[in-house]
Amino acid sequence: MTDTLFTKIIDREIPADIVYEDEQCLAFRDINPKAPMHILVIPKKCIAKLTEAKQNDEPLLGHLMTVASVVASKEGYGDAFRLVVNNGAAVGQSVFHLHLHILGGRDFMWPPG
């Protein structure tokens, strides 16, 4: 897979407001937040989108979810946050490096639009 904007953030080639990092993933504030808390959790491994994840990526995918929960709690939104994964341009994916959106701090519609 080719490098993306998010690879450059992992490599510190472009700046980001990083709130969490470990050997497997990185979390940073979305540059165009859609909620008072809007953080992206990305794997350091380049996976373009969820449907390109393989069975052996399951521990990594689980880790991203756990990190999202920890980050939301640290931000003060542990009781109420939403995770979103856009898979494919047709549903709004614009950066083709898998990422979880963590959103919180406002009311959310259900079902989502």
Catalytic residues: 99
> The dihedral of CA 39, 41, 18, 95: what is its sign?
negative
Stretch that binds ligand AMP, among 50-58, 73-81, 88-96, 103-111 (CB under 6 A): 88-96
Q: Which of 2, 12, 32, 54 binds ligand AMP (CB under 6 A)?
A: 32
| Binding window for ligand AMP (CB under 6 A); candidates: 18-26, 54-62, 72-80, 91-99 | 91-99
Q: Is 16 in the site for ligand AMP (CB under 6 A)?
A: yes
| Residue 10 vs 40, nearer CB to ligand AMP | 40
Residue placing its CB nearer to ligand AMP in the complex, 7 or 69: 7
Q: How far is CA 39 from CA 31, 54, 56, 113, in A?
A: 9, 24, 25, 20
